[in-house]
Structure 1
Amino acid sequence: MPFLYTPWTPVLLLAFLLSLGAQLLVQSRFAHYGQIPASRGLTGRSVAEAILRQNGLYDVAVEPVPGSLSDHYDPTERTVRLSEGVYDSASIAAVAVAAHEVGHAIQHGTNYPLLVLRHHLVPVLNITSGLAPWLILAGILFKASGLFLLGVLFFAGVVLFHFVTLPVEFDASRRALRELERLGLVSPAEIPAARKVLTAAALTYVAAATIAALQLLEYIWIFTQGRDEA
């Protein structure tokens, strides 16, 4: 039974290349628009705090975090964490990224269902996602279909997480652009540039979800081949 190479391997390789392209696109657009000052002169921190205030989220903090493009919203600490290139930067890219992370805080504040679901999935997947590849490998090595199937089921949870993440990220970007425009934090002419930055970032999530789905299909194919050979 093939393991290292299957009919799905070429498709997966193509998906990995597309994922690499998406990562390069994000870095390229962030680098480009990170050099273009936003006309209002507001930093990522200022934009984040302004949007939070206007949405009544006074209990959400904004803090710097080390790294590049390490920006995220922490729902357990109710904190928007902005990377070094965003927190103190007044570029279009910084403003767009900061607004996106606040979009997640707004989702949290309104109990956006898919964000709540994703939050509940995290502690379970912290365990099952690590076990999945080992169970699949053990199932193949020991010809134990039960172990293999359990690994596939655990990995299916990973795929579910990726596909729940997609609408969460798209919605956060939609909220970000709406708030930037509604509050006049950037000029109308800068909205398309901000959208380009956020669209590039969204493509990385699409690529990750695609790869995970293809891997799941590959595992299912391997499982069915094993049953046919039994």
Structure 2
Amino acid sequence: MFETFGGFLIYLAILFLVPLWAQMRVKGTYQKYSQVASSSGMAGAEVARKILDDNGLYDVTVEPVKGKLTDHYDPRKKAVRLSEQNYYGNSVAGAAVAAHEVGHAIQDAEGYAFLRFRHALVPVASFGSNISFFLILAGIFMGATNMFLAGIIFMSAAVLFQVITLPVEFNASNRAMEQVVSVGVIRNEEERETKKVLNAAALTYVAAALVAVMELVRFILMFVAMNRD
């Protein structure tokens, strides 16, 4: 896959620096706009509750959770969980994050196809990510192409999960923007600031998917080379 040492270094740079850059970008953007109060003065919990109620999702709860940027939607418990800073705070960043997680709740209620597909992939992707490297390494050192191929197949399931996550997250962000504007949570220049927070968060998923695909391609090319030999 890499004809020169320089090419290998470029690959490593992409593999490690791109995710690091994405993480730094999202943390920096979040930190900046977590200091900017929204004009509505609504706390993240209020934003989430308002959007949920406006969409008829009265059975979905909004709960605080410890940690920073630990916000998520739990489809099993039908709960939007917001980190304490976002739950209690009234920042632009907090409103954006709260609306994004509610976006996932709306997807769940509507049976959004990509979300359902991602949920179905969870057990396979989890198992695949745990066992694939062991199978691939064993296949390389033992010269067992069948074991190597099995590792690639399991890795493919984990990579597919990463790729499917992209439309799920982008769709949730699009829904978030529509909702915060329609319910009056943000106004005027806050739309641009909210988009910055949502776009920065999306970069982490893009970076993760890019790295996952690159790793899969690398092992596929190694497998092809092994069979040629």
For Structure 1 versus Structure 2, the TM-score category normalised by the shorter chain is over 0.9
Counterpart of 1:153?
153
1:19 Cα offset (Å): 1.4
| Aligned residue runs from structure 1 range 20-169, under 5 A | 20-169=20-169
**Partner SS, residue 188 of structure 1:** coil
Residues paired across the two proteins, number: 226
**Partner SS, residue 189 of structure 2:** helix
Structure 2 contact 14–211 (Cα < 8 Å) conserved = no
Counterpart of 1:216?
216
The ranges of structure 1 where at least 4 consecutive aligned residues each deviate by more than 4 angstroms after the TM superposition are 5-9
Deviations 1:27-73 (A, max 9, x none): 00111000010011001000000000000001101111111101111
Structure 1 pair 6–61 and aligned structure 2 pair: CA distance change class (3 A)? farther
Structure 1 contact 125–158 (Cα < 8 Å) conserved = yes
**Partner SS, residue 185 of structure 1:** coil
Q: Normalising to structure 1: TM-score of the pair?
A: 0.95
Q: Which runs of 5+ in 1 are unaligned?
A: none
1:228 Cα offset (Å): 1.5
Task: Establish whether residue 184 from structure 1 lines up as the match of residue 184 from structure 2.
Answer: yes
Structure 1 contact 22–203 (Cα < 8 Å) conserved = yes
Q: Aligned partners of 2:127 and 2:213: how far apart in 1?
A: 19
1:225 Cα offset (Å): 1.3
Q: Aligned partners of 1:209 and 1:9: how far apart in 2?
A: 20
Q: Aligned partners of 1:214 and 1:225: how far apart in 2?
A: 17
**Partner SS, residue 150 of structure 2:** helix
Structure 1 pair 182–12 and aligned structure 2 pair: CA distance change class (3 A)? same
Structure 2 letter corresponding to 1:78 = K
Q: Which runs of 5+ in 2 are unaligned?
A: none
Q: Aligned partners of 1:40 and 1:221: how far apart in 2?
A: 54
Q: Aligned partners of 2:68 and 2:201: how far apart in 1?
A: 13
Structure 2 contact 124–158 (Cα < 8 Å) conserved = no
CA RMSD of aligned residues (A): 1.5
Counterpart of 1:11?
11
Q: Aligned partners of 2:189 and 2:72: how far apart in 1?
A: 26
